[in-house]
Amino acid sequence: MADSRRRLYYSKGQTTHGLNTKGGEWMFTDNVEYIGQYHKYITDEVFSEASFVTGISRILIPYVDLEDKLSKFGDIGINIVSKFEYDVIKQITVTPSRFANPSTATATNKDRKIGYMLRYFAYKVNDGNITELSKVSYSEVGSKDGLDEYLWKKFTIKWKITGPEFDVMDSQNNIKESGIIDTNRRTVDLHSEDYPTLKSYITGYTAVTF
């Protein structure tokens, strides 16, 4: 079973690709030793394969010779495998993260003059949950008062609020003036390539309540 990374995206400078182990260094979390190519990130995450392959790469942890430990300590009644798995779990640091209340965006006078506003969102990388944030909550992502920056990926979308309801076409069937609903639908379609659940979260494309 493949594992997920803490972040959706890592830059080249944050990743070391094409490392190789001949054994005795890494193993999977099910205690199976790993031999082959692997890569690692600045977050101290280590994954199998030369670079991350969705559905294939698995997280790696430092190798422990469990058979050796069993031979030394198994006779005193300790389940070494269970103890090792527990020790691995204890090493995982979960940053306390508040769940921000969903916020409904409101347009300002400045927004109305330029014809659009920004809407703020956070996407939960492990289950695809999306919540809309206020500008303040958006700025707090990654802080002690906000959502965890590894678990939630934040993004904004440009939301059209003025103009005709639908696109106005010319005689050549080209868009003469972009409509609110059609423009916002295109915007959601575009961002859904990176955040697939956005389409089910946003069900209306009209201008938000002023």
pLDDT digits (tens, 9 = 90+) for 133-177: 999 889 998 888 888 888 889 999 999 999 999 999 999 999 999
State the DSSP string of 58-75: -BEEE---HHHHHHHHGG
Helix axes 66-73, 80-91, angle to 10 degrees: 120
What three-state secondary structure class fits 12?
helix
Q: How many whole angstroms separate alpha carbon 150 and alpha carbon 94?
A: 10
Asked if 57 and 10 count as a contact pair (C-beta separation under 8 A), the reply is: no
For the cut 70, the answer to whether the pLDDT of residue 67 exceeds it is no
In the chain, % helix, strand, coil (3-state, to 5) comes to: 25, 25, 50
Going from N- to C-terminal start, the domains of the chain cover 12-91, 109-201
Residue of 96, 93, 92 whose CA lies nearest to 142: 96
Which amino acid, residue 140? E
Kindly report whether the global pTM for this prediction surpasses the value 0.85: no
- Report pLDDT digits (tens) over 110-120: 999 999 999 99
Q: How many whole angstroms separate alpha carbon 150 and alpha carbon 145?
A: 14
CA-based torsion, 41, 43, 44, 45: positive or negative: negative
Higher pLDDT, 136 or 30: 136
Alpha-carbon distance values, 131 to 21, 157, 192, 208 (Å): 41, 13, 14, 16
